[in-house]
Amino acid sequence: MSRCGIIPFIAICLFLSGCHKENGKRRYEIQLLFNNGDVLKDYGTVTEKEANVKKYHGKAVYTTVFNDYLFLKVNGKFICSGDLIADGKHGDLYLEGAYTQKGRAYTVEDGYFEVIWRDVYGEPLTNSVLTGKWTFKRN
Amino acid sequence: MKQNTLRSLSFSLILLFSFSCKKEKGALYDFPPGRFEFVYVLNTNTNQDTIIGELSGPYLYSSNYSFMVRQELLMDKSLKIFKVGTYKSINNGIFKAQVNTGATIDYEDHDSDHLMIHFASGDTLSGSLTLTRKE
């Protein structure tokens, strides 16, 4: 009798823990609206299910837009630095912006970013840092 | 009666087992991510370089802690990332900065807003990285 009850229970436990479905990944759009009028847009995914990201990256959000970034969560803001390869150009990107979260979906309406485009030797291509506004939303 | 005891015993064993799977805390678990001012001092042979700037972190990639430098036009263009120890330990971990700058961390101290490490490699290279929270 007892065996009849325990075996299905263990089987269900094993079945549940073996579910490695990649749920919680959603498509997002990021837009970099440069103050000089240029616009860069890209699509990628965000792993919205926090437990998965927390396990490997701590307090951050992992996204595959542009070059794959980790957005650190700092006082209601995303903060991120990284390489930017887009439109055949290479540069450095710095992002910060307040995010809102509805359910699991993140939205950044009015973020601030900086870009320095560089040549193959790493020298800056402009004599000032390019800045602008960025948006990030579930697509 | 015996069956019931057996059943509840195995059930509580499974529960205990699943609750005991707790993840080990990282070396910087009490150092929340943010923006920091950094002072990077590098001594090589007779030269001493000091670079001041801003960075964000800690980012956790493959169990390694790193800090990403917010780029400025006049900043040393190869200084982009500091790799500072691992999830398990900062002390005795690897410190990496610019190209060819790799050393072992021989001192680390932090509270929630400050982090200081000293690193050295043989007799020729040593230095420190000090972070102070901005946000």
DSSP A24: T
Q: Read off the tokens for A61.
A: 């959000």
User: Does B55 have pLDDT greater than 80?
Assistant: yes
pLDDT at B12: 74
pLDDT at A77: 95
Higher pLDDT, A137 or A48: A137
DSSP-derived 3-state class of residue A10 = helix
Q: Is B16's Cβ below 8 Å from some Cβ in A?
A: no
Higher pLDDT, B27 or A16: B27
**Across chain B, what does the average pLDDT equal?**
88
pTM of the model: 0.82
Q: Is B79's Cβ below 8 Å from some Cβ in A?
A: no
Hey, are the CB atoms on B34 and A74 less than 8 Å from each other? yes
Contact by Cβ (8 Å): A78, A97 = yes
Averaged pLDDT for residues A50-71: 81
Distance from CA of B66 to the nearest CA of A (A): 11
pLDDT at A118: 94
pLDDT at A132: 97
Contact by Cβ (8 Å): A10, B14 = yes
pLDDT at A52: 64
Q: What percent of chain A has pLDDT over 90?
A: 64
Distance from CA of B29 to the nearest CA of A (A): 9
Q: Read off the tokens for B3.
A: 């069956």
pLDDT at B98: 79
State the best of B71, B80, B113 to mutate against chain A, taking most chain A CBs within 10 Å.
B71
Of residues B33, B60, B69, nearest to A74 (C-beta): B33
User: Does B35 have pLDDT greater than 70?
Assistant: yes
- Cα B24-B25-B30 angle, rounded to 5 deg: 175
Q: Which amino acid is at A133?
A: K
User: Does B91 have pLDDT greater than 90?
Assistant: yes
Higher pLDDT, B98 or A64: A64
The ipTM assigned to this model is: 0.79
Categorize the per-residue pLDDT at B20 as very low, low, confident or very high, splitting at 50, 70 and 90.
low
Ordered DSSP codes for B34-48: EEEEEEEEEEETTEE
Contact by Cβ (8 Å): A138, A26 = yes
- Residue A99 makes CB contacts below 8 A (sequence gap 6+) with A73, A76, A77, A78, A106, A107, A108, A136
User: Does A21 have pLDDT greater than 60?
Assistant: no
Peptide bond into A124 cis (omega under 30): no
Q: Is A117's Cβ below 8 Å from some Cβ in B?
A: no
User: Does B1 have pLDDT greater than 70?
Assistant: no
Tens-digit pLDDT profile for residues A72-82: 999 999 999 99
Residues of B in contact with A2 (CB under 8 A): 3-4, 6-7
Ordered DSSP codes for B36-99: EEEEEEEEETTEEEEEEEEEEEEEEETTEEEEEEPP-TTS-TT--EEEEEESS-STT-EEE-ST
Categorize the per-residue pLDDT at B2 as very low, low, confident or very high, splitting at 50, 70 and 90.
low
pLDDT at B13: 73
Residues of A in contact with B26 (CB under 8 A): 58
